[in-house]
Structure 1
Amino acid sequence: MAKKDKQKKRDKSAKEKPEAEKAKDGPVPGELLSDLTRSARSMRTFLTNSLVHSGLYAGQDGVILALDGEEGLTAGQIATRLGVKPPTMTRTLSRMEAQGFVRKLPGVADGRLVRAALTEEGRKHVAAIQLATKATEAMAFEGLSEKEIRQFGRILRRINRNMAGKPGVEDGFGE
């Protein structure tokens, strides 16, 4: 091997070594959390911007999709499905009722229990929300295989199970 080629190989090896050492030691503490937070924020921002013309606020898209799947859910049921606290959902439903997206229904067995249903105005947004959600996911997962996407989903669900019910875990909406 020529002297010049040996020097190139040493230079290349020196550049790669820190990355190889980093991979061996694992991620820097806090780096994965930071990456996950940035990714989630970027996806949420893209989705929100895609829906801005509809008059929907962040989080309301999930409520509409939940009620499109099953009418008459309580605030607690929707909150559980979306991973937020019931008081947060109660406020969200009140705001959405004022906007004309949902209507409140009395409870069947207990009149104090309030259920929610979509109005015609709320139903008009289902297709747009589904399209915006699909576009957001397509952009976020560009270049990933179906297998990688499924694996990522399993990992996220595992993280959510690990964190569920732990003291200090809030709903992400500033409560």
Structure 2
Amino acid sequence: MAKKDKADKAPKGDKAEKADKPDKLKRKDLAGSGMVSSALTQVARALRTRLSHGLATSGLYPGQDGVVQLLATEDGMTPGALAQRLGVKAPTMTRTIGRMEVQGFVTRHTDDRDQRLTKVYLTDEGRRSLAQINAAMAACEMQAIRGLSGKEARQLIKLLSIIDENLSDRPSSVRDVIDSDEDD
């Protein structure tokens, strides 16, 4: 048998493994690639679609759950304040509130101290829908994080919070809550 040249020999040990594996994506490679934007957009759409299906039985349309949740913590907000907190434009919020009022989830009243202001309040029906929203959200989140450990899920939330801060120029309220390394 003929002897093989050194050039014909396959690399040994770690060098062989490195030669067979593609290089890991580095941060500089991701910048401008569209991979982060594409992945986040797809996940957000999938999450919103799944949540919308879960909310369908409550009679709520996409986006209305956020209004109910916000009013449940701070009832009597102006449409402008709701729009700002939910990151939508005022006309969109006005239409949403009008629709929710017809559905019986909210009611509008003039402010007692400043007659120029209109404030939005949850009705009893709106308060009852909160349990359905929470159940739909819990089921959606359980499906979304299936296969992740508690530590991985917390890390995901922390990373998404950092991205949100980077893009919005506002501090996130989530990151401080998640600073725990214990595993579930």
When the two structures are superposed, what TM-score results if normalisation uses the length of structure 1?
Answer: 0.77
By percentage of residues, which structure has more helix?
Answer: 1
CA distance change for structure 1 residues 137 and 108 in 2, over 3 Å: closer, same or farther?
Answer: same
CA distance change for structure 1 residues 108 and 153 in 2, over 3 Å: closer, same or farther?
Answer: farther
Task: List alignment gaps of at least 5 residues for structure 1.
Answer: 1-5, 166-175
The residue matched to 2:109 in structure 1 has which SS? strand
CA distance in 1, matches of 2:66, 2:162: 21
Identity over aligned pairs, percent: 46
The structure with the largest alpha-carbon Rg is 2
The residue matched to 1:58 in structure 2 has which SS? coil
Measured after TM superposition, the shift of residue 96 of structure 1 is 0.6
Mapping of residues 97-136 of structure 1, within 5 Å: 97-136=101-140
- Greater RCO (CA < 8 Å, at least 6 residues apart): 1
Deviations along 1:29-70, one digit per CA (max 9) or x if unpaired, are: 101111111101001000000111222110001111111112
Task: Figure out how many residues of one structure are paired with residues of the other and give that number.
Answer: 156
Out of 134, 147, 153, which is 1:149 matched to? Answer: 153
2:83 paired with 1:51: no
The structure 1 segments of at least 4 consecutive aligned residues displaced by more than 6 Å after TM superposition are: none
When the two structures are superposed, what TM-score results if normalisation uses the length of structure 2?
Answer: 0.74
Task: List alignment gaps of at least 5 residues for structure 2.
Answer: 1-9, 170-184
- Aligned-CA RMSD value: 2.6
Mapping of residues 1-175 of structure 1, within 5 Å: 13=17, 16-18=20-22, 21-24=23-26, 26-27=29-30, 29-164=33-168
CA distance in 2, matches of 1:156, 1:90: 29
